Amino acid sequence: MATPAQAKFIRRDPAEIAPWTETCGQIRLLIEEKDQAAGEVCEVEITDAKLHYHERTDEFYYVIDGHGRMRLDDEEIELHKGVVVYVPRGVKHKAWGKLKALIVCVPRGVLNDVHELE
C-alpha cells in the first residue's frame, strides 16, 4: 500500500469519519496534515463557533447546507448554501447559525494554528 506521500490520490468518505468538537463545531478531517497534501480539508457542522484566528493558515469556507452569519474582524456577513468565503490568515472570525461547511485550509497544519479569543 502506498504511503500518503506516494499516493496518486486520496479518497475519504465523511460518513466513515467520526466527528469531534473543535473551535468551529463538529469537525471531520477529510484530508489531514499527515496526508502530506498541499492543504487540509474538513467538513464542519457549525452552530456557534468560538472567535479565533490563524497565524499561518488561510481558509476557504464553502457552505454545503444551512444558513447563518459570520464575523470577520469587525464585519458581519450572511451565509447560506452555495456561498464561498475566503478568510486570510490573521483575520479574526467565527460563524453561527445552522451550517454545514467544507473548509479548505492552506497550507496544512491548521489544527496547530488555532488561536482562540473567547
Only one residue has cell 493558515, namely 57
In a domain, 51, yes or no: yes
In a domain, 18, yes or no: no
| Residue in 46, 29, 43, 48 with CA at minimum distance from that of residue 112 | 29
In a domain, 85, yes or no: yes
Q: Is the pLDDT of residue 118 over 90?
A: no
pTM over 0.75: yes
Total of domains in the chain: 1
Q: Which domain holds residue 46?
A: 29-99
The predicted structure's pLDDT at residue 8:
83
Q: What sign does the CA torsion over 82, 48, 59, 29 have?
A: negative
Q: Is the pLDDT of residue 1 over 60?
A: no
Q: What are phi and psi of 8, to 5 degrees?
A: -80, -30
In a domain, 15, yes or no: no
Where residue 6 falls among pLDDT bands split at 50, 70, 90?
low
SS3 assignment, position 89? coil
